[in-house]
Structure 1
Amino acid sequence: MMVAGAKNAGGDADLPPPPPTIPSNLKPELLAPPKYSIMTRPCRTGTTGRGITLLANHFKVSVNNPDAVFYQYSVHMTYEDNNPVLPGMGIGRKLMDRLYHTYSMEFDGNKFAYDGEKSLYTFGPLPLHKLNYTVVLEESVSRPHETGSSSVTEKRMKLSIQSKTFNVEISYAAKIPLKPIALALKGADADDGQDALRVLDIVLRQQAANRGCLLVRQSFFQDDSRCITAVGGTGLSTVRGFHSSFRPTQGGLTLNMGTKFCCLFVISVVAYTCRHLSLFLLWLLADVSTTLILTPGPVIDFLKANQGVQHPRNIDWARAKRMLKNLRIKTRHHNMEFKITGLSQNPCREQYFPMKLRSDDGTTVEQTVDITVYEYFTKHRGIELTYSANFPCLDVGKPKRPNYVPLELCSLVSLQRYKKALSSKQRASIVGSSRQRPQERINSVTNAVRNYGYNDDPVLAACGISIEKQLTQIEGRVLEAPKLKVGNSSDCMPSDGRWNFNGKTFLNPKHIDKWIVVNFSLENCDTSRISRQLYDIGRKKGIRIEYPITLIEEQPQLKKQSPIERVKKMFEQIKVKHPTEPPNFILCVLPERKTSDIYGPWKKECLVDYGIVTQCISPPMKKNNRERELSEQYLTNVLLKINSKLGGINSLLATEHSGVVSLIKDTPTMILGMDVSHGPPGRSDIPSVAAVVGSLQWPLISQYRAAVRTQKVRKEMIDSLYKPLESGEDDGIMRELLKEFYKTSKCKPTQIIIFRDGVSESQFNQVLNEELDQIMKAYKHHQKVDELPKFTVIVAQKNHNTKLFQAGSPQYNVPPGTVVDTNIVHPRNYDFYMCAHKGSIGTSRPVHYHVLLDEIGFSANELQNLIHSLSYVYQRSTTAVSIVAPICYAHLAAAQVMQFMKFEDLSATSSSGRVSVTTSESIPVPELPRLHEKVRSSMFFC
């Protein structure tokens, strides 16, 4: 590479840019200050619980030059013809590195940090306000080369140099001082220090880029075979890397360093696919980022692994073409990289291309002949091909100028991100490979901080920043587990975050009569045996359960039909058996694969069209040709779900049972759990689903009702909490929940506690001033009053990078109930970390709770104990869950709806005649089918 012709334009770098102008079309009301601002931390922290000494993956940072100033410059890159260089082309860092190395004198020796796109940061100003450069990048490419001693020779390839010219304009944008960071650490508005922290994070990203790492937001992944783990049956791999970011805390500035696993498994995908608690808990114990990598190596090996075949002849080439497009490969015969544009139409032995034959001196083309790719490489290039003859070639050329290369000469280059959807088995495999025990995780991050030499980075050193190399020691507390009330007025004391119903009964068991069993499993599954076992275990748990009135087996010939058709045929059989009165409950036995395609259509038919409560189970496993008995624990877990769906209560908090929950017992209080689930990455046709659950039967806090709506793709803020119609009525989510609360509690709520999941810190103000505003409008509309209830708004974050370890026993996870509200928390805002659950595998991830508003006036002890208790009211399990139950229920409700909606046929889901929102003028968002009135108020999502 080389740089040529630097040209300078005059100007003083210390002159600020002109003040921004207010767009003329901006409405004046949008300029008004927000109604609510994020509350500050109360003076008193929590005191309950026993003390525990912990370690956190935060490394203390010293800023020895707090008066340092960064200068921000805008970078504009164009080709020689003035067409802009698009972000993501991968040449920005090459251009800037070459600029600096060649013209470091013009930078006055100032080191810089470049974000890879449009911003450059220097420590100290550049001498001029604007600089223009002409940059020439040179790279090796293949060019025709004619040689030979005969009268005509074939066209050959030779490495030659190709140059591309770019124009780079660097212009001053702003000053970014470090001083706001020091002020934020003292409790000032932290937003003022965000720009400086962003610059420091960019310095870390640049250092990782210089090491050749794959960058994914604030995470980086290195091409190290010791950190790469293959995912069986996919041709993909997970690669262990690290997340790094500077964070202001009560204890000072810290570097939050955590291990990350590069895999396609984000919270929206979990909510979309996961019906089983075990997989959801596995996700909570794994560090996950936003993509997988392709396993580097021969392309043919990748295709065989990805499609699960043993021999190339079994490869589905249409599927392979979709999979390979735009992937980067390196060729063995001349060690060059290309991007795959497609596959040849014919096999290598039959794929012809025109080859020019030239005279001895190479000046004239004597003739053009058609030759096969196989013949060219074997005869004219002298390369032996062992298996490519009968398979398509990779096309690495342009649409009108194909360039064919045999498969066996091509290998995938390393650290290529994979962004397509995965199967549930693949996701489970990824989660399993991403687990790290606490001690292993500690060793990983501490070794990284020591080995990456952050204190030697010239930009960090220039502003006096140094980073300690050991984990931060902090003090936490372990809250006592709440006592539970079960049947026969018995008490149940959880131990280590768990309890069971051995020798105990459910608190409020429902009578199960007029129920049937349907069997979609074509294995030899004895449904009568399953129903007898369920009957026996149900009686032990206090449930009056009768024998099923009908057992219906699917006809074997229906197996090849579509899932929707199979479900319809099953209901036809049910109607024949029960023509006048449908059953009250259906137990559905699905095929062994838990992610059965039948699940979605079956749930939709039951909950939307017929209003029948249903529970799906997988058939029993077989061992040595003998059917294994379903365990009592398995059947108890099934009965927990059934009883909850039918309106029963499995257990309550002892304080809840006696009506003495602090600050709730005397004041009608409604608890909301809110979440938005998004479709899989790359699916722009699947709208997001907003789910809100609201508590019922005050003063209870264990019973909930859900309301679900679709909204624009990838939209995080819920826009249907209040939805006024032209008729003057409200068709929003809150209307449903407020009506149900009044119906079950015989009063209106005068306090509302909101738990919001899935939003980032940059969206906190939107939660307060958009979503809360909708809730207030809905409350006024429904209650016909101007007086509003008191609100407490809490955001729960799982997708963060703070980990807690026991100082004395780092090989074990922190105990259930661990809470931290000092030292590593925000210096100004009201937040704390809580690990309510037991982490039996991997490393537990605490939930980061942010209190945005507290009009109710909880003390720190009251609020932390309430949140801890809400992790024990989850009706479908006998373990404390990591996050409050209302948020878990919101996840489940959204997941259930996404499962039974058929997004492939959008017209079918929007046939109700309702007005639909649109993501654009051409893409309508389908309205959800509303649940049948018989199940609308149930906990159908359990």
Structure 2
Amino acid sequence: MPPRPPPRGGRGGPPPRGTAPPRGAPPPGAGRGQSSTAAAPPGQVMLAEHVQTIGVRKTGYGREGRPFEVFTNHFAAKITDKIIIHYDVIHPSEKTLPARLNFEIIEALQTKCYPQVFTPRAVYDGRKNMFASQIISFPSGHETQHEFDVFLDGIPEDPSAADAPKSYKVRLTKVATINPEVLHRFLSGQQSHDNSVLTAITALNVVVRMEPSLKYPFNVRSFFTNRETKDIGQGMVLWRGYFQSVRPAVGRMLINIDISTGVMYKSGSLIDLCLDFFGKPGNPAILAPSRGLPERERQRLSRFLVGVRVVTRVAQAQGQQRPGGRQANPRVIKRLSNQSAKDLRFSLRDGTTQSVADYFRITYRRELRYPDLLCVEVGSGALLPLEVCEVLPGQIMRKQVPPDKTSSVLEFATKKPEARLESIVNGLKVLEYDQSEYLRSFGLTVDTNGPVKIKGRILPAPTMLYGQGSRQQNVNPRNGEWNMIDKKLYRPASINRWIVIIFERQQRFSQNAADDMINGLRNATAAVGITGFQSQPRVSWENPQADVIGTLRRHGMEMRNTAGGLPDIYIIVLPDGAADLYQQIKHFSDIQVGVATQCLKSNKCFRAKPQYYANVCLKINVKLGGVNTVPDAKAIPFLADRQNPAIIIGADVIHPSPGVENKPSFTSMVANIDPMFSRYVAISKVQKSRQEIIDHAQEMVAHCLRMHINYKIETGIEQKAAFPRRIIVFRDGVSEGQFKQVIDGEIPKIKAACAALNLPVTPKLTVVVVGKRHHVRFFPMQGQGDRSGNCPAGLVVDSEVASPAEFDFYLQSHAGLLGTSRPAHYNVLYDENGFTPDSMQQLAFTLCHVYARSTRSVSIPAPVYYADIVCARAKNHFDPSLNVDLSETDLTPTDPGQKSSAKTLSHYQKNFKPLAQTAQRRMYFA
């Protein structure tokens, strides 16, 4: 047995009464779409009055827009009429086991230990649920419960022998009988979305995923094969995979199939994996502490290796394999040592100590080739030299991909629509639905003749308005695009003083380059109507390694002393790879001082074309309080109703990267303050890690309402119109399983915020979830796509593949660029404003056109997009010296030799600084 290391030492207030959200249906007169007593057309159902839903019930379908047929990555499925038996699965006296091992245990249970009991075989979800197509006859004769002893290689001749292999206890308990009739009723609009429907859908998903889960590496609803791979370096290899999910649709069940990408650890020698991580293959010496391996790099490698399963060459050499050729006892890496194999010592039973290198030499008669290299500690506590470890293939890396590898992942994952659909259809050969014994035994069939063809609509784009002096003030976007040639911004900003600071060596960014950049900005700002940039700015080259915040503050004070005021904006030129520099600048500008900054990358602005500076002007204008463009309210009744002023709020939560511990989650809200829905303010908070519900929703909504009301009063809008009568919240980042949590946990807080402000009129509330993390795709008919091969911007689908019971729709609001466009999925959870499908769809589409950074419609409404950005920038609220990074774990006592720096939530909340007063009124996040 390899040596073990020595032991280590040492909310918002309650909601007002009577404001509880409705259950399953909107309040009287709310959320009523275009209901009808006539029979529903194909692809539509009429919902029975008694049906209850989680969100707002579906009462109609949209009609606006021109018809547009598309293919979708769904395949028709015929569901079984056979009763399904649900069993609960537990492992008594066992810790929670990895899903991979759970599947091995259940497979051994059914095929090696008790095959006569499990005929036909049941299906299992890897955790707690098993489903059988008939009642299992337990050996004990007991009808509802039995406990099995399971051996991974089959029951040995003498299970009680001292040298018998380990057994796992599995207890099955019958918990329910599922009648598929509830699914048929749900699909036809006659059944509520209750637990019986949810369990039936879960069972069908487990059926289709059972076989791939036994054969391939898997991750929740996707599995991956090595038929198509790409080595992207740093110890990572991409594998092509397939996603599959059985989903209820209008009138029928469908299987949603998509291609996916898995990031795997590179298999083979652990030393080679470590060297590949550092990008220095063939040079094992860099892994030796005595050769100067930096501590920070050792920590980075240690975090990367945590969770990797390895087998030892020692075991292989001694023939330690289980029957069937399976490797004996894979070990899971817990951490990387901070000493080499020859220096790392442990205590023997006789009180003496021995190095790891000596242990392997004496015990295994193996002289290490690289005794100067580090060791890994595995889950059992054993210490293993790097050179004796082999990394098993097919291990999914569940950590965030480094930023410099994101482009490689996107390149591998991106496929044009036609190629993606072809790949999906070809994937049916891998899925082999018609060959699956599990699908046959449960009576589930899939139509593999081709993807489903459905009907959608292309919504008309809103007219966008520009400012006086434009050759064309009214612009009609075509396929989500328009240009700013000869156009003035709707409300251009102006400045009095500005500074240019260059954090790049003057040899790389010379005076001529600076003059060229300044002239480019002058020409671009003049063209769109921004004034003040014709004045001569102060220009200074500064050392990026010096005190950046002190440098910015010094220049600001010098300008105040000599020019009578602080600069209105800093134009800052940054070198490549300056993320830490950028964070310091934003902490200074947004948190400490509240002055606008615009950062430019030196390689981007060097000899840049006018289009580059035109795009920069869009950001500068809104940061200085201007407005770029607004939608024509005449075409949008909701926006044009000045008798019922509205505030639109975007809300989001961002969590630490996968596998990262000791870091908080950040929340954000963004709200319009103007009546044209183009100028926004933001607020962000820090809360408990990985909690999706927004703790401070009441405080944040109240802040948004105050900013909205004060701005309108200060800008001369009459008192009555300053107070919103309608609140529409677009909530990002919520999965379908969390809808009820939002209804119960956030809506009462929003209403409490309104009550606490004593508004003259209680605003009516609508809450819509905007989903992006799904696998629904739409593909145009031959010759009907845009230049990228995607469906045109404005495609909306609210039938056929949408929910049969709830108010939802898919909207592809943007023009395609690379790959296959992903539509956003909108679910209306709560509605007191009486939106019809057409009015909600048109509102969402219009808000996708007011994103200030571009002259294109974007994939989600601008307030949601802004909320995403504000969340991502929340780390700037901390002093840069705290080094807050959601992609890295704080050091904890589990890292030997390191002092704990784990930070509590209270620590982060205490150090989370609010926006500077002047920044609160600016779109600093643009």
TM-score, with length taken from structure 2: 0.80
Equivalent residue, structure 1, for 2:898: none
Q: Which of residues 607, 617, 622 is equivalent to 1:639? A: 617
- Which moves more between the two structures, 502-511 or 165-174? 165-174
Counterpart AA for 2:174: Y
Deviations 1:745-788 (A, max 9, x none): 44211122221111112222333343222222211221345x52
Equivalent residue, structure 1, for 2:257: 257
Equivalent residue, structure 2, for 1:155: none
Kept in 1, the 8 Å contact 2:69–2:780? The answer is yes
Q: Which of residues 305, 312, 316 is equivalent to 2:284? A: 312
Deviation at 1:422, TM superposition (A): 4.3
Q: Which of residues 67, 73, 83 is equivalent to 1:69? A: 83
Equivalent residue, structure 1, for 2:122: 112
For 1:298 and 1:716, the matched residues in 2 are separated by 40
Equivalent residue, structure 2, for 1:688: 665
Counterpart AA for 1:768: I
Counterpart AA for 2:286: N
Equivalent residue, structure 1, for 2:520: 533
For 2:134 and 2:334, the matched residues in 1 are separated by 45
Equivalent residue, structure 2, for 1:604: 587
For 2:354 and 2:832, the matched residues in 1 are separated by 84
Deviation at 1:640, TM superposition (A): 0.5
Q: Aligned pair in 2 of structure 1 residues 589, 429: CA closer, same or farther (>3 Å)? A: farther
Counterpart AA for 2:527: K
Q: Which of residues 907, 911, 917 is equivalent to 1:933? A: 917
Question: Tell me, what secondary structure is at the counterpart of 1:314?
Answer: helix
For 1:921 and 1:571, the matched residues in 2 are separated by 31
For 2:348 and 2:696, the matched residues in 1 are separated by 64
Counterpart AA for 1:635: Y
Counterpart AA for 1:530: M
* 1:251-650 equivalent positions in 2, closer than 5 A: 251-262=251-262, 292-310=263-281, 311-315=283-287, 316=293, 318-319=298-299, 320-332=301-313, 335=316, 336=327, 337-340=330-333, 376=361, 388=370, 391-392=373-374, 399=381, 402=383, 404-405=384-385, 407=387, 410-469=389-448, 470-487=450-467, 488=469, 490-523=473-506, 524-525=508-509, 526-547=513-534, 550-556=537-543, 559-561=544-546, 565-579=547-561, 581-593=564-576, 595-620=578-603, 628-650=606-628
Equivalent residue, structure 2, for 1:761: 736
Kept in 2, the 8 Å contact 1:77–1:168? The answer is yes
Deviation at 1:734, TM superposition (A): 4.4
Question: If each structure's strand is expressed as a fraction of its own residues, which one has the higher value?
Answer: 1
Counterpart AA for 2:213: A
Q: Aligned pair in 2 of structure 1 residues 881, 784: CA closer, same or farther (>3 Å)? A: closer
Deviation at 1:377, TM superposition (A): 10
Counterpart AA for 2:773: N
Question: Tell me, what secondary structure is at the counterpart of 2:856?
Answer: coil
Deviation at 1:370, TM superposition (A): 9.3
Q: Tell me if 1:229 matches 2:212.
A: no
Unmatched runs of 5 consecutive residues or more in structure 2: 1-13, 25-53, 138-142, 156-161, 288-292, 317-326, 885-901
Kept in 1, the 8 Å contact 2:766–2:830? The answer is yes
Paired residues, number: 814
Q: Aligned pair in 2 of structure 1 residues 517, 112: CA closer, same or farther (>3 Å)? A: same
Equivalent residue, structure 1, for 2:140: none
Q: Which of residues 146, 149, 153 is equivalent to 1:134? A: 149
* 1:800-815 equivalent positions in 2, closer than 5 A: 800-809=774-783, 812-815=789-792
Question: Tell me, what secondary structure is at the counterpart of 1:597?
Answer: helix
Question: Tell me, what secondary structure is at the counterpart of 1:418?
Answer: coil
For 2:744 and 2:378, the matched residues in 1 are separated by 51
Question: Tell me, what secondary structure is at the counterpart of 2:599?
Answer: strand
For 2:56 and 2:780, the matched residues in 1 are separated by 29
Equivalent residue, structure 2, for 1:272: none
Percentage of pairs with the same residue: 26
Counterpart AA for 2:402: S
Counterpart AA for 2:603: P
Counterpart AA for 1:229: K
Deviations 1:262-293 (A, max 9, x none): 2xxxxxxxxxxxxxxxxxxxxxxxxxxxxx32
For 1:582 and 1:429, the matched residues in 2 are separated by 47
Deviation at 1:930, TM superposition (A): 2.0
For 1:630 and 1:921, the matched residues in 2 are separated by 44
For 1:406 and 1:672, the matched residues in 2 are separated by 53
Question: Tell me, what secondary structure is at the counterpart of 1:227?
Answer: strand
Q: Which of residues 716, 735, 738 is equivalent to 2:692? A: 716
For 1:806 and 1:895, the matched residues in 2 are separated by 34
For 1:84 and 1:378, the matched residues in 2 are separated by 32
Q: Which of residues 41, 49, 56 is equivalent to 2:72? A: 56
Deviations 1:479-498 (A, max 9, x none): 22222222325222322321
Counterpart AA for 1:521: E
Q: Which of residues 122, 131, 152 is equivalent to 2:132? A: 122
Deviations 1:189-233 (A, max 9, x none): 12341111111112223211221x2221112222x1x3222224x
Q: Tell me if 1:870 matches 2:847.
A: yes
Kept in 1, the 8 Å contact 2:548–2:585? The answer is no
Q: Aligned pair in 2 of structure 1 residues 577, 43: CA closer, same or farther (>3 Å)? A: closer
TM-score, with length taken from structure 1: 0.79
Deviations 1:146-186 (A, max 9, x none): xxxxxxxxxxxxxx986113333222222222222111101
Deviations 1:299-336 (A, max 9, x none): 23322221123533334373444533442224456545
Counterpart AA for 1:754: V
For 2:355 and 2:843, the matched residues in 1 are separated by 78
Deviation at 1:879, TM superposition (A): 1.0
Deviations 1:40-83 (A, max 9, x none): 555542222222210111111112x43x22222222324xxxx3
Counterpart AA for 1:86: T
Deviation at 1:530, TM superposition (A): 1.6
Equivalent residue, structure 1, for 2:899: none
For 2:774 and 2:355, the matched residues in 1 are separated by 59
For 1:859 and 1:641, the matched residues in 2 are separated by 34
Q: Tell me if 1:214 matches 2:217.
A: yes
Kept in 2, the 8 Å contact 1:798–1:847? The answer is yes
Deviation at 1:464, TM superposition (A): 1.9
Deviation at 1:373, TM superposition (A): 6.1
- Which moves more between the two structures, 106-115 or 197-206? 106-115
Unmatched runs of 5 consecutive residues or more in structure 1: 1-26, 141-159, 263-291, 357-367, 622-626, 725-729, 908-917
Question: Tell me, what secondary structure is at the counterpart of 2:529?
Answer: coil
Deviations 1:669-712 (A, max 9, x none): 221111112232344433222211222222x1222221222222
Q: Which has the higher contact order (CA 8 A, sep 6+)?
A: 2
For 1:305 and 1:236, the matched residues in 2 are separated by 8
Q: Aligned pair in 2 of structure 1 residues 781, 410: CA closer, same or farther (>3 Å)? A: closer
Q: Tell me if 1:196 matches 2:200.
A: yes
Counterpart AA for 2:557: K
Deviations 1:558-602 (A, max 9, x none): x444xxx32223312432343374434233424322552111221
For 1:815 and 1:772, the matched residues in 2 are separated by 35
Deviation at 1:439, TM superposition (A): 2.0
